[in-house]
Structure 1
Amino acid sequence: MTDDLQRIPVSTGVTLDVQVAGDPANPPLILLHGFPESHRTWRDVIPDLARDHFVLAPDQRGYARSSKPAGVEEYTPDKIVADLIALADHFGLATFTLVGHDWGGAVSWMAALRHPDRIARLVIVNAPHPFIMQKTLFDDPDQRAASQYITAFRNPDLEAHIAKIGLSSFFDGSFLQHTDFDKIADEKPVYLDQWGQPGAMTAMLNWYRASAIVVPAIGETPERPAYLDGPFPPVTQPTLVIWGMNDAALRPSQIEGLGDYVPDLTLTKVDAGHFVPWENPQAVIAAIRAWEG
């Protein structure tokens, strides 16, 4: 039985801090966090899952003390998916269940589509399907309005603004708008330490800058991506989607019609906002356990 943070160099050229828990002989799970977090997204979920799974929870590239390669182009989703597969290779995992929240979920959707031979089952926690997200940014005014922060995060002047006001004020003015502070009060120093690592804030924001997703301004009518009006490949794996229904950033349109793109879908709605794994970890655990049977 292991339960520690290991520093793992992988074949994509980055080194990742990875929480490793459970017996390697048990079925493997890889847990991917989102913005602006780390492996600690899963801090209240891992102990239960590790009872009968081998669990890997990396700090993804750009986060905490994992590698932070320079340049926006180093944070395109294909490179992050490649890190995931390289991590699985490092531990000799031929197939595994993939669990992702927020940006980690976005990576998980792409990984499941690109590597169905490696990812046997998929768990998504409040992370939009790529086709539905792009479509709703054009067709759902509510989602478009809720996503304007993405444009703000892509602003190259944002780091200078954060440096001026300080990380603590940025935490209070942005992250806390989507959280119940009482549930993470003890974690604030951890976040500030991770965000304060050299290059971390730019690297984290580069995930948004490197993304190809189009976020129209409110009232704008840009050219519609052609693929939105054609067929989109299905996710073939058995898939559990856990959705916190009080999410202010991802509106209910993200789960409408999801079964059209995920034929083997189980959808579990839970009482939480966007940051479900620490707002309501017991609901995440219960949903996964029920789905596993």
Structure 2
Amino acid sequence: MPDTDLQRIALPTGVELDVATAGDPAAPAILLLHGFPESHRTWRHQIPALAKRFFVIAPDQRGFARSSKPAGVEHYTPDKPVADLLALATHFGKDRFTLVGHDWGGAIAWMAALQHPDRIERLIIVNAPHPFVFQKSLYDDMAQRAASQYIRAFRNPGLEAHIDRIGLGAFFDTSFASHADPALLAPERDAYLDEWGQPGAMTAMLNWYRASAVVVPAMDETPERPAFLDAPFPPLKMPVLVIWGMGDTALLPVQLDGLRALVPDLTVVKVEAGHFVPWEKPAEVTGTMLGWLG
């Protein structure tokens, strides 16, 4: 990523984040949030193009790569990374900004937009489900429930011991690698293993799943239905672009069902790609983002 500055920033939320920035600091800001199990490098193909028009802020979120990894699941509840991103924007003097998120970064972006509409001017979501739609699908759509059983596995406190036994490389090859284009992923393998191998990184990354309040029922379970699923849910107020890789095997296209009722100013662009759309179809994602932002 040419002309990208990686700096360490201490935030009042109690963590230090490695943050990639690019572009003119006086330009309108766009903040990019990665998901599991990645880093700011998720956006390596988008950053140079966005930096021509925006001041780009792309952190390694808490728990990932070399950013702070506070001990304890309680430090990874969604309100914590929401506070991080708002503090990061404030650090750069940006009261309002465009927010972009993929995967867990998208989940945090949805929450920030719902809770802090005064700060989020526009929202771009890439393969990350709206919280209401996702929780509803885990009760009402058995295909999505089956696709999400990995979350239950990630919440297993014994998972790290299993990873230690088989090694990070084997875990990479048997988990992450099966959900992405092998030809695109292979050249990046060493970078991922370096980030995952940082002290405490694997536990910190998994703690995002453990701290989440999302209920993932077992396939043979019929748990009590959360009351909020049958109550009105507040609509988002800002324009929203959703880019969706239709070949995603973890987050199925059912995540687009009913979305327009929750997002009145919605644009949906469907892409023939898997879950990791930003680098599986970089030109399409970048072009879509720039066209919509323009």
TM-score, normalised with respect to structure 1: 0.99
Is the counterpart of residue 219 in structure 1 residue 200 in structure 2?
no
Match of 2:188 in 1: 187
Distance across 1 between alignment mates of 2:127 and 2:73: 25
**1:124/1:240 contact within 8 Å kept:** yes
User: Where in structure 2 are the equivalents of 1:169-208 lying within 5 Å?
Assistant: 169-208=170-209
Match of 1:272 in 2: 273
Give 1:27 shift.
1.3
Distance across 2 between alignment mates of 1:139 and 1:16: 38
Distance across 2 between alignment mates of 1:162 and 1:186: 22
Specify every segment of 5 or more residues in structure 1 that has no aligned partner in the other structure, as ranges: none
* CA deviation vs aligned residue, 1:94-146 (integer Å, no higher than 9, x gap): 10000000000000000000110101000000000000000000000000000
User: Where in structure 2 are the equivalents of 1:131-146 lying within 5 Å?
Assistant: 131-146=132-147
Give 1:4 shift.
1.2
Q: Which amino acid aligns with 2:275?
A: H
Give 1:89 shift.
0.8
Distance across 1 between alignment mates of 2:200 and 2:293: 39
Distance across 1 between alignment mates of 2:214 and 2:180: 25
Is the counterpart of residue 56 in structure 1 residue 45 in structure 2?
no
Distance across 2 between alignment mates of 1:141 and 1:161: 28
Q: Which amino acid aligns with 1:169?
A: A
Match of 1:151 in 2: 152
Q: Which amino acid aligns with 1:204?
A: M
Match of 1:245 in 2: 246
Match of 1:284 in 2: 285
SS for the counterpart of 2:74 is: helix
Match of 1:27 in 2: 28
Is the counterpart of residue 37 in structure 1 residue 65 in structure 2?
no
SS for the counterpart of 1:99 is: strand
Distance across 1 between alignment mates of 2:289 and 2:203: 34
Match of 1:233 in 2: 234
Give 1:179 shift.
0.4
Q: Which amino acid aligns with 1:87?
A: L
TM-score, normalised with respect to structure 2: 0.98
Match of 2:169 in 1: 168
Distance across 2 between alignment mates of 1:194 and 1:97: 27
**2:177/2:185 contact within 8 Å kept:** no
**1:2/1:23 contact within 8 Å kept:** no
**1:61/1:68 contact within 8 Å kept:** yes
SS for the counterpart of 1:193 is: helix
Specify every segment of 5 or more residues in structure 2 that has no aligned partner in the other structure, as ranges: none
Distance across 2 between alignment mates of 1:223 and 1:256: 23
Give 1:2 shift.
5.5
Q: Which amino acid aligns with 1:40?
A: R
Match of 1:258 in 2: 259
Match of 2:13 in 1: 12
Q: Which amino acid aligns with 2:76?
A: Y
Distance across 2 between alignment mates of 1:216 and 1:51: 45
Match of 2:70 in 1: 69
Distance across 2 between alignment mates of 1:38 and 1:226: 35
Distance across 1 between alignment mates of 2:69 and 2:174: 25
Q: Which amino acid aligns with 2:220?
A: G
Distance across 2 between alignment mates of 1:257 and 1:178: 26
**1:33/1:39 contact within 8 Å kept:** yes
Give 1:219 shift.
2.2
Percent identity over the alignment is 70
Give 1:246 shift.
0.5
Distance across 2 between alignment mates of 1:242 and 1:248: 15
User: Where in structure 2 are the equivalents of 1:117-128 lying within 5 Å?
Assistant: 117-128=118-129
Q: Over the residues paired in the alignment, what is the CA RMSD in angstroms?
A: 0.9
Aligned length: 293
SS for the counterpart of 2:68 is: coil
Distance across 1 between alignment mates of 2:224 and 2:122: 35
**1:242/1:268 contact within 8 Å kept:** yes
